[in-house]
């Protein structure tokens, strides 16, 4: 049987790489779109068996080229997203205009499914440009293609994430960890394999016209997450609540410091600081994956991060277990 073709935008990212593996194992053919095939090709190529993955380079996401790609696919998944704005990478363009365009083309070309990945906890964060742009994107998708599925994950973690691994690095280098808003903001971290399973189930069950909040089994405060990470890398650090005016100065300084001086990514921006004020847990406006019986298999955040945190321990993989 000829496998169904799935067009994936943002395929080289954390969720995309893991998703390609799952989809191709399930006999789907994936067309992965990237801006730079030379930079991202080697990461993408190894995610699938020969014949199941085609990599397409679109340096600029021109409507004409996108329309060409839609001719061969029956499902489109949009995973393109950014954490902060930089030169031409602006929230409005990436989070609002692009999903609106993709959903419009999905409707016009009458494809089976359009799955758009947005984010959890953006409804209340009206003072965050990230959040409002994500919401605007959701609105555009819903208006253009009623059958679309919008998935709103909380923090997604895995060995190749930008979240736990970044904190493991920071916590192993810094003598103390600043806590914004007393570290009380809540999250429902979901492992990337559980999220990609939800996406696969949405496809297999041909789910349409749904918005689903995607959460893991635990609800943890930022402080609890940091403590679990510290425990897993066997380090002790001072956790220091930072008054908001000082946090704002810190965010402004880090926002203007070039990314290459911050490990390749901005560690904090003013917009992220504002977003951090809002809990990242189900809003009760939409169903969650749990309501749909898409239950996460990986239940405990600390057990999962322990599987890869050894690289940040003193002595690495062969370090002796310390009791801390
Ligand atoms: N990971 C999380 O914790 C999390 C939580 C909530 C929501 N989400 C959302 O889930 C989606 C996927 O997240 P992720 O963690 O997999 O993201 P990621 O690792 O940062 O990857 C993002 C992808 O977006 C593409 N991209 C970035 N800027 C682009 C631009 N200007 N034009 C075209 N493509 C661009 C990149 O592709 P190329 O460089 O190959 O072109 C990259 O593959 C995003 O929308 C994100 O907001 C993620």
Whether residue 2 has pLDDT greater than 60: no
Q: What lines the ligand 1 site, CB under 6 Å?
A: 10, 12-16, 34-35, 40, 61, 79-82, 89, 94, 117, 119, 153, 155-156, 163
Atom of ligand 1 nearest to the CA of 163: 3
The arithmetic mean of pLDDT across residues 203-212, rounded, is: 97
Which tens digit of pLDDT belongs to each residue from 290-318? 999 999 999 999 999 999 999 999 877 77
Indicate the top mutation candidate among 8, 9, 11, 15 to test ligand 1's pocket, ranked by most ligand atoms within 8 A of CB: 15
Please state, for a pLDDT cut of 70, what percent of the chain lies above it.
98
- Cα 90 from chain centroid? 17
If you ran DSSP here, which 8-state letter would residue 85 be given?
Answer: -
Whether residue 228 has pLDDT greater than 60: yes
Whether residue 167 has pLDDT greater than 70: yes
Question: Ligand 1 centre and the CA of 238: distance in Å?
Answer: 32
- Mean pLDDT rounded to a whole number for the chain: 94
Question: Ligand 1 centre and the CA of 79: distance in Å?
Answer: 5
Atom of ligand 1 nearest to the CA of 35: 41
Q: For the domain covering 5-158+188-218+281-298, report its CATH number.
A: 3.40.50.720
Nearest CA residue ID for atom 22, ligand 1: 13
Nearest CA residue ID for atom 17, ligand 1: 13
Whether residue 122 has pLDDT greater than 90: yes
Atom of ligand 1 nearest to the CA of 88: 31
Which tens digit of pLDDT belongs to each residue from 25-79? 999 999 999 999 999 988 998 888 889 999 999 988 899 999 999 999 999 999 9
Atom of ligand 1 nearest to the CA of 192: 1
Whether residue 156 has pLDDT greater than 70: yes
DSSP string across 164-197: HHHHHHHHHH-SEEEEGGGG--EE--EEHHHHHH
pLDDT in the model for residue 93: 97
* 60: Cβ contacts below 8 Å, ≥ 6 apart: none
The pLDDT confidence band at residue 248, using thresholds 50, 70 and 90, is very high
Question: Ligand 1 centre and the CA of 78: distance in Å?
Answer: 9
Question: Ligand 1 centre and the CA of 16: distance in Å?
Answer: 8
The arithmetic mean of pLDDT across residues 84-90, rounded, is: 91
Nearest Cα neighbor of 294 from 219, 196, 150, 155 is 196
Question: Ligand 1 centre and the CA of 236: distance in Å?
Answer: 32
The pLDDT confidence band at residue 3, using thresholds 50, 70 and 90, is low
Question: Ligand 1 centre and the CA of 82: distance in Å?
Answer: 6
pLDDT in the model for residue 321: 64
pLDDT in the model for residue 195: 98
Question: Ligand 1 centre and the CA of 10: distance in Å?
Answer: 5
Nearest CA residue ID for atom 21, ligand 1: 13
pLDDT in the model for residue 263: 83
Dist. CA 121–CA 169, nearest whole Å:
26
Q: Please name every residue paired with 78 in a beta bridge, in sequence order, or none if there are none.
A: 9, 116
Question: Ligand 1 centre and the CA of 1: distance in Å?
Answer: 32
Question: Ligand 1 centre and the CA of 80: distance in Å?
Answer: 4
Which has the higher per-residue pLDDT, 202 or 1? 202
Dist. CA 57–CA 36, nearest whole Å:
6
Nearest CA residue ID for atom 11, ligand 1: 79
pLDDT in the model for residue 132: 98
Nearest Cα neighbor of 202 from 6, 43, 2 is 6
Please state, for a pLDDT cut of 90, what percent of the chain lies above it.
87
Dist. CA 320–CA 166, nearest whole Å:
23
Indicate the top mutation candidate among 17, 20, 80 to test ligand 1's pocket, ranked by most ligand atoms within 8 A of CB: 80
Q: Give me Rg for the CA atoms of the chain.
A: 20
Nearest Cα neighbor of 33 from 58, 4, 50 is 58
pLDDT in the model for residue 205: 96
């Amino acid at each position: 049987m000829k496998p169904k073709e799935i067009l994936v935008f943002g395929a080289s990212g954390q969720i995309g790489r893991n998703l390609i593996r799952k989809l191709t194992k399930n006999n789907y053919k994936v067309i992965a779109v990237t801006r730079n095939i030379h930079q991202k090709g080697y990461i993408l190529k190894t995610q699938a068996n020969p014949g199941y993955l085609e990599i397409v380079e679109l340096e600029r996401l021109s409507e004409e080229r996108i329309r060409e790609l839609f001719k061969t696919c029956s499902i489109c998944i949009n995973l393109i997203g950014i954490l902060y704005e930089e030169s031409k990478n602006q929230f409005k363009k990436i989070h609002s205009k692009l999903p609106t365009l993709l959903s419009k083309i999905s409707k016009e070309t009458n494809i089976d499914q359009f799955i758009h990945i947005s984010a959890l906890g953006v409804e209340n964060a009206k003072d965050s440009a990230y959040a409002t742009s994500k919401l605007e994107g959701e609105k555009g998708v819903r208006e253009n293609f009623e059958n679309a599925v919008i998935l709103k994950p909380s923090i997604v973690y895995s060995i190749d994430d930008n979240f736990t691994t970044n904190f493991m690095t920071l916590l192993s280098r810094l003598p103390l960890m600043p806590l914004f808003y007393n570290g009380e903001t809540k999250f429902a971290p979901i492992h990337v394999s559980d999220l990609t399973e939800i996406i696969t189930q949405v496809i297999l069950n041909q789910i349409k016209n749904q918005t689903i909040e995607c959460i893991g089994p635990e609800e943890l405060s930022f402080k609890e997450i940091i403590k679990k990470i510290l425990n897993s890398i066997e380090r002790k650090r001072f956790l220091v609540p930072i008054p908001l005016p000082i946090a704002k100065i810190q965010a402004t300084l880090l926002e203007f410091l070039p990314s290459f001086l911050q490990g390749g990514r901005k560690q904090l921006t003013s917009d992220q600081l504002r977003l951090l004020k809002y809990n990242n847990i189900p809003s009760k406006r939409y169903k969650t994956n749990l309501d749909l019986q898409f239950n996460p298999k990986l239940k405990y955040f600390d057990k999962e991060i322990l599987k890869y945190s050894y690289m940040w321990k003193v002595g690495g993989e062969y370090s002796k277990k310390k009791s801390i």
